[in-house]
Amino acid sequence: MKTSCASHLLEKVREKNPLVHNITNQVVTNFTANGLLALGASPVMANAKEEVAEMAQLADALVLNIGTLTRETVEAMILAGQAANEKGVPVLLDPVGVGATTFRANAAKQLLKKVKMTVVRGNAAEVAHLLGVNGWESKGVDAKAANGDVSALAKQASIALQTIVVITGKIDVVSDGDEVLSIHNGHEWLTKVTGTGCLLTSVIGAFCAAGEQPLHASAAALLFYGVAAERAALSAKDKGPGTFQIELLNALSHTTGDEVLTLGKIGGVSHDKG
């Protein structure tokens, strides 16, 4: 995976303008929709059991986010996920705050059991919780700084959950259980704006919809998003998180394939086939 592939895939996303169906939490609906529009994708939100299957089959990607879950939403997510699976539409899971309550933990387990996920994206604590591994701290829906080996965690989770796993943090990693790619872009201010992780999952969805295999699509989305965040931080100067949020939307719109090519930093942390 090279930054030139990411650059190329960004252009494909903008050309295709994929429809991303989000069943997401109440906090981030607006920001997610505006972020997808800014990037060049088409967002749609729908969470009624009566229509999610139909909507998911119209879409080019489906994103399931458990941030403000209710029992009804879990049912809707399963219906949508299974309909997407049937039609080969990629499905992404964002297990927001999965370790915080039994309800979220059970919902995530059920979703992973009943729906074939293409990508799972979370912070280290969330992914560790899905895997039943201890020692990764969290606080509500936010991960605390962790010192464990995220690459090993991503790889292990990918094998156990049979899906691409993305772990975001100071360094982002993505694994298909074999390769592990690490992305060294982004900015700490992403942690000061709510929903930047949720939006990233939807952006990965848009990249998966552009036809590339999901390992590379995820890495490309991480590179693009990280470079956009750096650009936004430059524009926002020291004005604060309000301005950074707005500049991130601007940057998602303006960041070009050339910038991703030049500024993207990707490495292969480990690669031991077979």
Binding-site members for substrate are 45, 195
Nearer to a second copy, 59 or 221 (CB): 59
For 105, residues 6+ apart whose C-beta sits below 8 A from its C-beta are 98, 99, 129
Q: Please state the closest distance from residue 231 (CB atom) to a second copy, in A.
A: 10
Q: Which residues fall in the annotated binding site?
A: 45, 121, 168, 195
**Cβ neighbours, 10 Å, residue 49:** 14
Q: What is the CB-side half-sphere exposure of residue 101 using CA atoms within 13 A?
A: 11
Q: Is 86 in the site for a second copy (CB under 8 A)?
A: no
User: Is residue 28 part of the contact set for a second copy (CB under 8 A)?
Assistant: yes
Tokens of 211: 């036809």
Cα gap 249→184, rounded to integer Å: 20
Q: Which of 58, 75, 148, 162 binds a second copy (CB under 8 A)?
A: 58
Binning the chain into helix, strand and coil, the percentages to the nearest 5 are 55, 15, 30
Q: How buried is residue 250: exposed, middle or buried, by Cβ count under 10 Å (0-12/13-18/19+)?
A: middle
User: What CA–CA distance (Å, rounded) separates 173 from 3?
Assistant: 15
Shortest distance (Å) from residue 41 CB to a second copy: 10
Can residue 27 be called a binding residue for a second copy (CB under 8 A)?
yes
Q: What part of residues 209-268 is at the interface with a second copy (CB under 8 A)?
A: 239-243, 245-251, 253-254
Residues 147-176 touching a second copy, rule: CB under 8 A, are none
Cβ at position 48, least distance to a second copy in Å: 5
Q: Choose among 84, 150, 152, 141: nearest CA to 118.
A: 84
Length of the chain: 274
Q: How far is the CB of 88 from a second copy (least distance, A)?
A: 18
Q: How far apart are CA 166 and CA 13, in angstroms?
A: 20
Instruction: Pick the closest to residue 119 from 153, 71, 167 (CA basis).
Output: 167
Closest separation between CB of residue 245 and a second copy, Å? 7
Residue from 132, 140, 188, 273 touching a second copy (CB under 8 A): that is 140
Window contacting a second copy (CB under 8 A); options: 119-127, 145-153, 159-167, 189-197: 189-197
Q: Least distance to a second copy from the beta carbon of 15, Å?
A: 14
Considering only 8, 68, 133, 171, the residue that binds a second copy (CB under 8 A) is 68
* List of residues contacting a second copy (CB under 8 A): 17, 19, 21, 25-31, 33-34, 37-38, 42-48, 50-51, 54-55, 58-59, 67-72, 97, 100-104, 139-142, 192-195, 239-243, 245-251, 253-254
